[in-house]
A and B are shown apart, each in its own frame.
Chain A
Amino acid sequence: QSVLTQPPSVSGAPGQRVTISCTGSRSNIGAGYHVHWYQQLPGTAPRLLIYGSSNRPSGVPDRFSGSKSGTSASLAITGLQTEDEADYYCQSYDSSLSGFVFGTGTQVTVL
């Protein structure tokens, strides 16, 4: 079972801003471990979208941004585009499990 909680779905019109929350606990996000975000387009492997809570790998558009506070993190997409329709997952490390943990996943729909 997933240790990090995300909303099942979010939606927005093209050009709008949407945010995805990721709620953890004191043994993962709250323990200071980095939060990373992945984008998974239909039928493809996940792709690292945000690392270290707020950094973008080269090639990721700057309309994607991340933040972290306490035991939670969030991903924002500004200027939503049709190609942003995908599933998004947060991920961290959990000290009590001695392992990696993923969020429950959020499906983004562009209306």
Chain B
Amino acid sequence: QLVESGGGLVKAGGSLTLSCAASGFTFSDYRMNWVRQAPGKGLEWVASILISSTYTYYAQSLKGRFTISRDNSKNSLFLQMNSLRAEDTAVYYCARVPAHGDYYYSMDVWGKGTTVTVSS
């Protein structure tokens, strides 16, 4: 199970940190993603972090404003969002990423999402 938190209303230019609490599986065995969905729009991959946090990857559109991190000792995933813009308004989901067999690079477990609203 994945449970996101930390969403809310923030002014343009502000910052927000999202959290995702994992349970029911060995968190440290999985790559993790953040995915967002703007109102009435499709799914957009945001960021990804490998098991040991050695490598992180981001959607090019974010231009260095977001930082993904994890704490395996606390089974937690984070997304630090800076210089927020109105276009960052979306529901943000965390998702588990298997890296084995036919499940490779799918997202097989999703949280219910947390809503971020950026006011201009």
Which A positions have Cβ atoms within 8 angstroms of B? 2, 33-34, 36, 38, 40, 44-48, 51-53, 55, 57, 87, 89, 91-93, 97-105
- A2 to B42: give the CA distance in the assembly, Å: 9
**Chain B count of residues within 8 A CB distance of the other chain:** 24
| B contacts with A: majority SS | mixed
Partner of A33, one of B103, B105, B110, B113: B105
Name B's A-contacting residues (CB within 8 A): 33, 35, 42-45, 48, 57-60, 93, 101-108, 110-113
With a CB–CB cut-off of 8 A, which chain A residues contact B107?
36, 38, 46, 48, 91, 100
Q: Specify which of A2, A45, A48, A51 is in contact with B93 (CB 8 Å cutoff).
A: A45
Inter-subunit contact A105/B42 (CB<8 Å): yes
Which A residues touch B101, using CB under 8 A? 52
- Taking A99-B58, A100-B33, A100-B48 as contacts, is the C-beta distance between A93 and B42 under 8 angstroms? no
**Is A46 touching B110 in the complex (CB atoms < 8 A)?**
yes
Question: Cβ of A53: which chain B residues have Cβ within 8 Å of it?
Answer: 102
